Structure 1
């Protein structure tokens, strides 16, 4: 069966603290793109390897997240899965920091392990919300979650820049490792994190969330939505190189997240009236169009930053619709996995955008970065054609 599971009321302070601990644990996701690019570039490496390292981490996490989410659903023991994953991911990040200049191939392998083992905090949290609230309260929780995540993605790039300035090229990666381990521990200690419903006796009673057509359609939409955002990491780094101000790339990503925070606050205050299945296509088309100005490197840095801010506006409303559809269309026993796949698809788009843009920028400079932005926006628009209301119901 589908639909929201039985809900239980929770005090707002407990909901706030649960969200806060998950955000601390998810801080490495907000820092990874810039921290992994900076650890390479600041050590004298090239953009191609930087893009491969960052993209490899993100893509590996998109593979690990739904698989670890399925482990949570099947075992009913989220704490055990999360703690074990956090320990392995932290160890791999420390290995990456130690080997990035001495043995680049080993550092790349560490990035894959760290990404794959990143604890599935976000899908676990998103599967908890329907058990905590329902109806309009659930929609507000999704909106608040999106707003808080954008605050995270404002602070993450700035923290990566500050850590690199304070502790050297490896500083951002070391802070990533510490935040992920501490945040996961606090999340697992929270009283609202309860065991998930008892798994069925037979594996056949827990079919994969991918058997749901709405989930498969959301995967396509999420991959294409992530492409322009992944490209922004490299195009912002290119802007910083052209301007001779390394901190510009951190500010560009922070401005983009600031626009997304504005979008999250607006959708929380003025919820969309149309059904999520109908709104998603329009929002994805808007996202594709709003990233186009970031392909113009002839703009002054101020105008480019404004373009990055405006580009972020539609992402939280889009994600709010995505997770509303996921909660309504997925059986409860597969909800953590479904959220994992949907989150992972977005990460695949981000990682692929970063990796391809890194190669293009390394080969053709600003022209290559421009091509990457235009191509990513075109593919996002194409993805909107797949996300029809019929397929999402």
Structure 2
């Protein structure tokens, strides 16, 4: 706990973390706000799901593009315009209804593509704001705290939708802008500049280690996407309406606990070895949930399944910080967001197929398989996860 108190006492650290979390609330709010709005205006479940997925995929695609531009031009010149554009996308969507489908699709794409890369930007800032010994703790606290976004965000949407579904969309964009303003008005964000980089199209993807890491974390995203759908299948099969929300909250609580414990004290083990062991533990945690037992035991299994999630992400951030080629650090962190997000979208689709084929047990089993594949990919490419493997510019 002292590690986190010292971190929060560091000038500007709490402000940057708080502003970034506020600005990232749309990540947890946008998909649900779009679904509720579409249904309220007479759109089908199929259309609501398609628009929500489109928003998520557009956000995943836009992060590395904006990250690359931010590495070149700095943070405020990219973050603020993108936040304003994302708000405009939500506003157009709120004013359009669902009948003008081309405009609806365009507004959804803009809202997703223009999502400011606050997550990647913050991780690029930590080495500038903090002493090296505290950066790992910052990564862990960041990874743990982001679990709150997917718990608090939907609750805010539901509360705003009591006023109107349009209000929920507008609030989603407005909170993104508010958090962005907190970040871009900070001294460190204004001062940060990316290092000169090699003139090549691949950017951080020219690092073999980062390619291995991104592939592995894509499978982690698949496991998360599967879990988010499988809990709904569990709730339907058991006839417990609240089960999906409880199980998702339990998993998030486990991730929060695991992240805080992981970041509380330094560990001498090399980051690549740590990450391999953490992925093994994460994959093992998904095995018991495939049993889909009665609700009390299932809740405990869900909590355990999340314990190693935030440590995996935090350790992954440490590896990125080491392996990102010069001048590509923000883009490299943005690719992590993209990998997990794209994997999540794939996992949702796979969970539906598995549930139709074999019910709740088969659906949860896909999470365990995805966790195993994440571990195997990283273990096979572990030799690329060292600074010596970083290609020269």
Q: TM-score, normalised by structure 2?
A: 0.84
Equivalence for 1:255 = 250
Q: Quick one: which of 70, 73, 81 aligns to 1:72?
A: 70
**SS of aligned partner of 2:187:** coil
- Distance of 1:88 and 1:384 partners within structure 2: 38
- Distance of 2:151 and 2:51 partners within structure 1: 22
Equivalence for 2:229 = 234
User: Does structure 1 retain, via aligned residues, the 8 Å contact 2:63–2:117?
Assistant: yes
User: Does structure 2 retain, via aligned residues, the 8 Å contact 1:33–1:233?
Assistant: no
Indicate whether 1:381 and 2:372 are aligned: yes
Indicate whether 1:310 and 2:304 are aligned: yes
Cα deviation digits, residues 186-242 of structure 1 (max 9, x gap): 211122213433664x86289611111111111101100011211233233344555
Distance 1:314 1:20, change over 3 A: same
Indicate whether 1:191 and 2:187 are aligned: yes
Equivalent positions of 1:1-393 (< 5 A) are: 12-40=10-38, 48-75=46-73, 77-99=74-96, 101-103=98-100, 106-164=103-161, 166-170=162-166, 172-197=168-193, 200=196, 204=199, 208-241=203-236, 248-295=243-290, 299-358=293-352, 364=356, 367=358, 370-388=361-379, 389-393=382-386
The runs of 5 or more residues in structure 1 that have no matched partner are 1-8
Cα deviation digits, residues 103-160 of structure 1 (max 9, x gap): 5565444333222111000111101111223432111111222232223333223333
CA RMSD of aligned residues (A): 3.0
Equivalence for 2:389 = none
- Distance of 1:38 and 1:304 partners within structure 2: 28
User: Does structure 1 retain, via aligned residues, the 8 Å contact 2:58–2:113?
Assistant: yes
- Distance of 1:46 and 1:288 partners within structure 2: 36
User: Does structure 2 retain, via aligned residues, the 8 Å contact 1:227–1:352?
Assistant: yes
The runs of 5 or more residues in structure 2 that have no matched partner are 1-6, 387-393
User: Does structure 1 retain, via aligned residues, the 8 Å contact 2:351–2:366?
Assistant: no
- Distance of 2:70 and 2:301 partners within structure 1: 40
User: Does structure 2 retain, via aligned residues, the 8 Å contact 1:69–1:336?
Assistant: yes
1:49 shift after superposition: 4.1
User: Does structure 2 retain, via aligned residues, the 8 Å contact 1:55–1:351?
Assistant: yes
**SS of aligned partner of 1:333:** coil
1:301 shift after superposition: 3.9
